[in-house]
């Protein structure tokens, strides 16, 4: 079992990896706990949840909206939760984003902790304190940054994930390797079978490495004014693919990483050998989507990128496996590269 600590100016958060999720009980206060989960996770694990009031939302991105927060807040009030209350999220990224946001605004903020149940939330979503809901189809428009007191990542919970959800999380793990950890990249490259078999010992190592890196970045730049931007590697083009094709987030990010890698090669930041290594790894896990976004749509999709300031984008390039760099690039250049890449395929 590994423990990673995130210390930011306002908070101390512990991420426990490889811990049996049912030990969460020892981290909870005696009174005032409520569980937020979704219907899938409740069906699979609900009989072993701590016996406290429980509110389940429908699974998926559709629940990440303000009405759901309002409805949950009403339920908390009805359950008599006051300022001493504690919100325990048990679920994937959607549940953690919702519950974290709810806890941060209910009665101006109550305590919270997460049992993180999907690979995507274990390697990425539940570290760093970002939470929030979507607004009219634009992702994560309302939310804030607030660290949960703890996050438990139990790899045995990943055995019940669908293949698609599992691979979607794997893409974010590969992202971490490309931007910050060459050893992790090499380990993923030589462990294809064990990863596909969901070997729990290996998953503990992989999640630990990913969280260690993200925790370092977040501790240095909690509010994303500098270093934290590198975590957006693959996301500028990835969001465009996600909006156009409605594929799972990780698959869209994988295609975005292929584009960003090729863009890095065109700029002279990496060799063709490194580019091929990255693209081959993404391909080996079946993560790359075909996409052919028409001119008028790619213009609109890139113009809506949240990493844009005025006419420029903070674009994340790789400078070699394990190293990333953020450069200010004009929107026109980002769109132009997409079109060149698309047309040569």
Find the helix or strand (DSSP H, E) in which 55 lies: strand 54-57
Q: Is 117 in the site for ligand NAD (CB under 6 A)?
A: yes
Find the helix or strand (DSSP H, E) in which 16 lies: strand 11-17
Q: Is 234 in the site for ligand NAD (CB under 6 A)?
A: no
Q: Is 13 in the site for ligand NAD (CB under 6 A)?
A: no
Q: Is 93 in the site for ligand NAD (CB under 6 A)?
A: yes
DSSP state of 129: -
> In the window 169-208, what residues touch ligand NAD (CB under 6 A)?
none
Which residues is 36 bridged to in the sheet?
Answer: 55, 89
Tokens, residue 9:
């100016």
Stretch that binds ligand NAD, among 3-11, 33-41, 66-74, 252-260 (CB under 6 A): 33-41
Q: Report the residue from 8, 13, 104, 118 that binds ligand NAD according to the rule CB under 6 A.
A: 118
Q: Report the residue from 14, 46, 140, 267 that binds ligand NAD according to the rule CB under 6 A.
A: 140
Q: Is 10 in the site for ligand NAD (CB under 6 A)?
A: no
Q: Which is nearer to ligand NAD, 157 or 240 (CB)?
A: 157
Pairing relation of β-strands 111-116 and 86-91? parallel
Q: Report the residue from 33, 161, 217, 252 that binds ligand NAD according to the rule CB under 6 A.
A: 161
Find out whether 29 and 86 touch, Cβ atoms under 8 Å: yes
Sign of the CA dihedral running 106, 110, 116, 122: positive
DSSP state of 153: E
Residue whose CB is nearest to ligand NAD in the complex, by number: 93
Computed on alpha carbons and rounded to an integer, the radius of gyration of the chain in Å comes to 20
> In the window 39-58, what residues touch ligand NAD (CB under 6 A)?
40-41, 44
84 alpha-carbon distance from chain centroid: 29
By CB under 6 A, the count of residues binding ligand NAD is: 31
Stretch that binds ligand NAD, among 5-13, 112-120, 252-260, 273-281 (CB under 6 A): 112-120
Query: CA–CA distance from 103 to each of 16, 70, 94, 321 (Å)?
Result: 20, 12, 14, 38
Q: Report the residue from 125, 151, 188, 254 that binds ligand NAD according to the rule CB under 6 A.
A: 125
Q: Is 256 in the site for ligand NAD (CB under 6 A)?
A: no
d(CA 178, CA 44): 33
By CB under 6 A, name the binding residues for ligand NAD: 38, 40-41, 44, 59-61, 64, 91-95, 97, 117-118, 120-121, 124-125, 128, 130-131, 139-140, 157, 160-161, 165, 168, 249
């Amino acid at each position: 079992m590994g423990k990673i600590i995130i210390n930011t100016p306002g908070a101390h958060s512990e991420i426990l990896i490889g811990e049996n999720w049912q030990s969460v009980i020892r981290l909870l206060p005696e009174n005032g706990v409520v569980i937020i989960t979704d219907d899938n996770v409740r069906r699979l694990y609900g009989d072993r949840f701590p016996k406290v009031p429980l509110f389940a939302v429908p699974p998926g991105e559709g629940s990440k909206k303000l009405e759901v927060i309002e409805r949950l807040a009403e339920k908390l009030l009805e359950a008599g939760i006051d300022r001493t209350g504690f919100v325990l999220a048990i679920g994937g990224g959607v549940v953690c984003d919702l519950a974290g946001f709810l806890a941060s605004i209910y009665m101006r903020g109550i305590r919270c902790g997460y049992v993180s149940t999907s690979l995507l939330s274990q390697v990425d979503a539940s570290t760093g304190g970002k939470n929030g809901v979507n607004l009219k189809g634009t992702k994560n428009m309302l939310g804030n940054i607030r660290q949960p007191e703890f996050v438990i990542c139990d790899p045995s919970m990943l055995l019940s994930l669908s293949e698609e959800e599992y691979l979607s999380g794997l893409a974010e793990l590969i992202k971490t390797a490309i931007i910050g950890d060459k050893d992790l990249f090499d380990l993923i490259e030589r462990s294809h079978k064990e990863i596909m078999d969901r070997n729990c010992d290996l998953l503990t190592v992989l999640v630990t490495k990913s969280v260690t890196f993200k925790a370092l970045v977040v501790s240095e730049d909690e509010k994303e004014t500098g270093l934290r931007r590198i975590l957006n590697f693959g996301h500028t083009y990835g969001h465009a693919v996600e909006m156009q094709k409605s594929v799972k987030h990780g698959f869209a990010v994988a295609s975005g990483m292929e584009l960003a890698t090729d863009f890095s090669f065109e700029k002279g930041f990496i060799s063709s050998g490194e580019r091929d290594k990255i693209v081959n790894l993404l391909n080996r896990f079946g993560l790359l989507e075909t996409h052919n976004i028409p001119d008028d749509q790619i213009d609109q999709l890139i113009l809506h990128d949240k990493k844009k300031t005025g006419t420029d984008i903070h674009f994340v390039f790789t400078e070699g496996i394990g190293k990333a760099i953020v450069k200010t690039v004009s929107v026109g250049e980002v769109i132009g590269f997409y079109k060149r890449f698309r047309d040569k395929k």
